Structure 1
Amino acid sequence: MSAAPAAANRLKRVAGGAQRLLKNAFEPSAAENSHKEPFSRELAKEIDHFARQRRTSVSLKDILTHFSKDTADLKKQLVVSAEFLRNELPVRLAHRIAELENLPYGLSGKPQVAKVQSWYTKSFQDLRSFPAVKDAADDENFTTLLQDIHHRHRNVVPVMAMGIAALKRDLPAGMSMDRLYDVHEFLDSFYMSRIGIRMLIGQHIELHRPPRENYIGMISTNCSPVQVAEDAIQDARAICMRQYGHAPDVTVYGDPNFTFAYVPSHLNHMVFELVKNSLRAQNDHYEDADVESPPVRVIVAEGNEDITIKVSDEGGGISRTGVSKIWTYLYTTATSPLELLDQAGEGEDTPAALAGYGYGLPISRLYARYFGGDMQVIPMEGYGTDAYLHLNRLGNTQEPLP
């Protein structure tokens, strides 16, 4: 679906969700599910008000330009930043709260989705009750609140995955998740919004921690894509070793001295996902072969506008008809680890798994697109797969607010 119809559908869901909140606030008995906490009339009106407001997008360059290294100026800038977030975050959260109220196929009624909505609502209320940030002391208190919110939302992705898995189990026989275009459209917008919210909160929190050389908050002004790739490869191979008992070698090509401004944690997440998939594909492909698995190749190329990282494997590839499915949520050929979360509880952290959630590639592509990049996967069935990660080198692309 193109961007314009998708945006129009999202606005309809937000508007419809706000109306449902207002209706259920006035008529509590109209609530469809007993596990959903009713909204007060005042809260529903406030969410509706903020869900109608426009959000303010930022770029990587904006963040780098706003914050200086001078300590005195930084304190003043942090107060301005805190007040901006105090006004901006409720708008972003209200959009999500309203949209979660109006999802198709009964998804809004799933207990896991209601749980996520309750986290967003609590954070919305906390932010709205916080007074204006006027000085450094106010900023310190506000930052403590942001840390609580950041921690509260840490398990949004796996809990939402459980809700989607429940929907998948309830689908009529013969209907697959990849046919539910409006659900995937919602998930793309929801997770893109989550990336933006956590970026803004994480950046503000990080700026209050002891300074690191060549860092402005979460952003490294001298991010080496080769070094980040090597760190991600080490993590991916460790997980592969834990699951399979062995891991193919990975060869990295590129200039380790080349750097640019980027968020290393985002880059690590994306490269880790691509390498992890390649390691798993090659282990599966060569499991019964008499020859040793060849190395996975990671190539880092510097362009004037883009940095491109290519991950190539010889894991047998996938069919052309299967390419579209890899970008759909909960599509995976591995055993799902969601049961681990169900057993551990929604508030617990769960161990990393090599595969199984079906969220890795779609969310990694959103991370790439957040700062103006993209991700492509080009398979050669019977041989292997080339994955391309494009990163905007200029840092001038505004957030693609859904």
Structure 2
Amino acid sequence: MASEPVARAVAEEVGRWGSMKQTGVSLRYMMEFGSRPTERNLLLSAQFLQKELPIRIARRALELESLPFGLSRKPAILKVILGEWSVNKVRDWYLDSFRDIRYFPEVRNRNDELAFTQMIKMIKVRHNNVVPTMALGVQQLKNEQCRTRKIPTGFDEIHEFLDRFYMSRIGIRMLIGQHVALHDPDPEPGVIGLINTELSPIQVAQAASEDARSICLREYGSAPEIDIYGDPTFTFPYVASHLHLMLFELVKNSLRAVQERYMNSDKDVPPVRIIVADGAEDVTIKVSDEGGGIPRSGLPRIFTYLYSTAKNPPDMDCPSEGVTMAGYGYGLPISRLYARYFGGDLQIISMEGYGIPVLHFLSDFQPM
């Protein structure tokens, strides 16, 4: 265990780095820089990350010290991780990562860069469970303070914090993932790091739909069909994993709504529809269903972290390792953050008694 002077010195350094200004990196710049993954460019990338990552990580550690409504004391965030894990809370994961980067020798040559790359790969793995762990803490908070449908005044502070926290996490993982992926000795044609310069949204929609239907089949024994419309030859530059995550979440929600509405009905089950449109400035993906929609009173809450339409959410003390159809209440707000990360957005329009058209706007090249 660290001595008090050492702990105080680390805390002071975290405070100092957390007050620094972070540097935005655009999708366009990542593409242009990553198109030439020479040893020199990889070295420059590592040197940039050695200075940039501590700023972003320190900011999150500082915020985790002062969460509103006692959120930092929730058992799910402070729970001891069994086995060989030595950290016992999300904040400690960030502090450990901050120390790893700050105490790493200055990156000066290729050997340094390769060692640094391995280190940040481990940091990325360390933070894999941050989102579900935080979600459990928020749900426990919800169980304590949201006994009625009305969210008490002041919870906006929690939503704002979580939006900042998760958006920053997306940025950190994007920076690390892009640098690591540039070391791939045999990248696919048109792929620069994590960015597919010729990404087919139709193909991603098909893959996300298949994954979502498999989950629905596992949960209910059947699943509605999914119809996809759009130009199969259309491509645009984007991060495939981001688009897949967003579409998977949206399609999964639509499948669940339709399945639960028609599971005891003699009527034909209507399909979920996905439409991909290429505009002059934006790519728009519309996901729509006939699952009955959401009451008007519920619409303001669908992008909060304290709301879920699931009738039987997962056990808050036993997080599932697999993907569930619904329950934790962070799928939509997280998906919107992914859409916004590169300048897009996600909007939902509900027609109560009919279904939900989900208008998913994607822009690109915005710095974050």
Give me the TM-score of the superposition, normalised by structure 2. Answer: 0.92
CA distance in 2, matches of 1:317, 1:259: 31
Deviates more, 1:111-120 or 1:165-174: 165-174
Deviation at 1:112, TM superposition (A): 3.4
**1:332 and 1:131, CA in 2 relative to 1: closer, same or farther beyond 3 A?**
same
Say yes or no: does 1:309 pair with 2:278.
no
**1:318 and 1:175, CA in 2 relative to 1: closer, same or farther beyond 3 A?**
closer
Quote the RMSD (CA, aligned, Å).
1.7
Paired letter, 1:47 = V
Structural mapping, 1:7-22, within 5 Å? none
State how many pairs are aligned. 352
Partner of 2:143: 169
SS at match of 2:356: strand
Match of 2:252 among 270, 276, 279: 276
Match of 2:314 among 337, 343, 348: 337
Q: Which runs of 4+ in 1 moved over 6 A?
A: none
Say yes or no: does 1:228 pair with 2:204.
yes
8 Å contact kept, 1:178–1:328: no
Higher relative helix content? 1
Partner of 2:174: 199
CA distance in 2, matches of 1:174, 1:95: 33
Match of 1:117 among 73, 77, 91: 91
Say yes or no: does 1:355 pair with 2:330.
no
CA distance in 2, matches of 1:172, 1:230: 38
Match of 2:53 among 89, 104, 109: 89
Partner of 2:225: 249
Deviation at 1:67, TM superposition (A): 2.0
Give me the TM-score of the superposition, normalised by structure 1. Answer: 0.84
Deviation at 1:113, TM superposition (A): 3.1
CA distance in 1, matches of 2:149, 2:253: 26
8 Å contact kept, 2:34–2:182: no
Deviation at 1:374, TM superposition (A): 0.1
CA distance in 2, matches of 1:57, 1:237: 37
Deviation at 1:214, TM superposition (A): 1.1
Deviates more, 1:165-174 or 1:240-249: 165-174
Structural mapping, 1:128-167, within 5 Å? 128-167=102-141
8 Å contact kept, 2:26–2:366: yes
Deviation at 1:175, TM superposition (A): 7.8
8 Å contact kept, 2:212–2:252: yes
Say yes or no: does 1:397 pair with 2:361.
no
Deviation at 1:177, TM superposition (A): 4.6
CA distance in 1, matches of 2:367, 2:247: 22
Deviation at 1:250, TM superposition (A): 0.5
Paired letter, 1:57 = G
Deviation at 1:172, TM superposition (A): 7.0
CA distance in 1, matches of 2:361, 2:331: 17
Match of 2:162 among 174, 187, 194: 187
8 Å contact kept, 1:82–1:133: yes
CA distance in 1, matches of 2:190, 2:337: 26
Structural mapping, 1:206-221, within 5 Å? 206-210=181-185, 211-221=187-197
8 Å contact kept, 1:158–1:338: no
Partner of 2:86: none
Partner of 1:382: 353
CA distance in 2, matches of 1:312, 1:343: 32
Deviation at 1:147, TM superposition (A): 1.1
Say yes or no: does 1:98 pair with 2:74.
no
Say yes or no: does 1:365 pair with 2:336.
yes
Deviation at 1:68, TM superposition (A): 2.6
Deviates more, 1:166-175 or 1:251-260: 166-175
SS at match of 2:349: strand
8 Å contact kept, 1:282–1:314: yes
Deviation at 1:332, TM superposition (A): 1.1
Deviation at 1:176, TM superposition (A): 5.1
**1:176 and 1:47, CA in 2 relative to 1: closer, same or farther beyond 3 A?**
farther
CA distance in 1, matches of 2:67, 2:116: 32
8 Å contact kept, 2:139–2:328: no
Partner of 1:78: 42
Deviations 1:160-212 (A, max 9, x none): 01111222233275485574110111111100000000000111111112322
Paired letter, 1:379 = S
Deviation at 1:337, TM superposition (A): 2.3
Paired letter, 1:351 = G
**1:239 and 1:145, CA in 2 relative to 1: closer, same or farther beyond 3 A?**
same
SS at match of 1:380: coil
Match of 2:15 among 29, 48, 55: 48
CA distance in 2, matches of 1:327, 1:219: 27
CA distance in 1, matches of 2:285, 2:151: 30
8 Å contact kept, 1:66–1:77: yes
Partner of 2:100: 126
Paired letter, 1:391 = L
8 Å contact kept, 2:216–2:255: yes
8 Å contact kept, 1:68–1:74: no
SS at match of 1:310: strand
Task: Give the unaligned 5+ runs of structure 2.
Answer: 79-88
